[in-house]
């Protein structure tokens, strides 16, 4: 379950880096439902093709998932204080390295994922603003259990953009921020980016 959710997020990340900006008029709940359901359906119909050519998986993630992630904001949150003063080019390079790292780590798990899964988008709860709106969902698995997943969005000039996903109470952004920010403050963003891309920095889930 975590494999597909993290790949959704990093797929959005990598596609956002390359896509031409287009205004998305959908609301956050609609974005989540269409993005996750679309990727799982694509996986089901082309599973054998992806197994024969795993490189196609990334192409599909990039092509099918609209550029929904606020790349710069998400990267800055992960970098924390270590990202202060980083140039747009450094932020983009860091985001790309993170995306590549996650795709490489989770692609095999995604190919083994059986999507007999129902997605419930829950009613909005609490105070939601243009700075932070949470979409609460439940992924109902075939074994009868469910996984709570929350997506965090913020409103931008191009529509609502996701910047974090929380799986069973664990935030993607905070998980990697706790590991990466201290390294960036110690060694600098460029060295950390190079280390992530080369696989010399081990990131825990």
Domains of the chain, start order: 2-198 (3.10.450.710)
pLDDT at residue 203, rounded to an integer: 77
**Per-residue pLDDT at 37 exceeds 80:** no
Whole-angstrom distance, CA of residue 65 vs CA of residue 57? 12
Q: Which residue has the higher pLDDT, 111 or 29?
A: 29
pLDDT at residue 188, rounded to an integer: 95
The rounded percent of the chain whose pLDDT value lies above 70 is: 77
pLDDT at residue 8, rounded to an integer: 57
pLDDT at residue 66, rounded to an integer: 44
pLDDT at residue 15, rounded to an integer: 47
| Lowest model confidence (mean pLDDT) among 43-52, 125-134, 145-154 | 43-52
**Per-residue pLDDT at 17 exceeds 90:** no
Mean pLDDT (the chain, rounded): 80
Mean pLDDT, residues 126-153: 88
pLDDT at residue 62, rounded to an integer: 62
pLDDT at residue 14, rounded to an integer: 47
pLDDT at residue 79, rounded to an integer: 94
**Per-residue pLDDT at 183 exceeds 50:** yes
pLDDT at residue 35, rounded to an integer: 78
Mean pLDDT, residues 17-43: 75
- Supply the pTM of this predicted model: 0.80
pLDDT at residue 130, rounded to an integer: 93
Give the Cβ contact number of residue 52 at 10 Å. 9
Comparing CA positions, the residue from 25, 57, 26 lying closest to residue 40 is 57
Whole-angstrom distance, CA of residue 116 vs CA of residue 85? 45
pLDDT at residue 55, rounded to an integer: 81
């Amino acid at each position: 379950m975590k494999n597909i959710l993290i790949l959704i997020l990093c797929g959005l990340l990598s596609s956002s880096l390359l896509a031409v900006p287009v205004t998305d008029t959908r609301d956050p709940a609609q974005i989540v439902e269409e993005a996750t359901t679309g990727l799982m359906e694509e996986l089901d119909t082309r599973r054998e093709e992806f197994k024969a050519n795993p490189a196609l998986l990334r192409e599909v993630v990039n092509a099918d998932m609209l550029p929904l992630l606020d790349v710069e904001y998400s990267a800055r949150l992960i970098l924390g204080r270590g990202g202060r003063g980083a140039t747009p080019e450094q932020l983009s390079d860091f985001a790309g390295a993170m995306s590549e790292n996650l795709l490489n780590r989770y692609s095999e798990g995604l190919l083994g994922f059986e999507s007999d899964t129902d997605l419930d988008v829950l009613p909005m709860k609490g105070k939601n603003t243009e700075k932070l709106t949470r979409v609460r969902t439940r992924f109902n698995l075939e074994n009868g259990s469910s996984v709570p997943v929350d997506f965090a969005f913020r409103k931008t000039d191009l529509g609502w953009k996701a910047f974090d996903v929380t799986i069973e109470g664990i935030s993607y952004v905070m998980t990697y921020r706790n590991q990466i920010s201290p390294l960036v403050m110690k060694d600098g963003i460029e060295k950390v980016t190079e280390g992530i891309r080369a696989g010399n920095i081990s990131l825990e889930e």
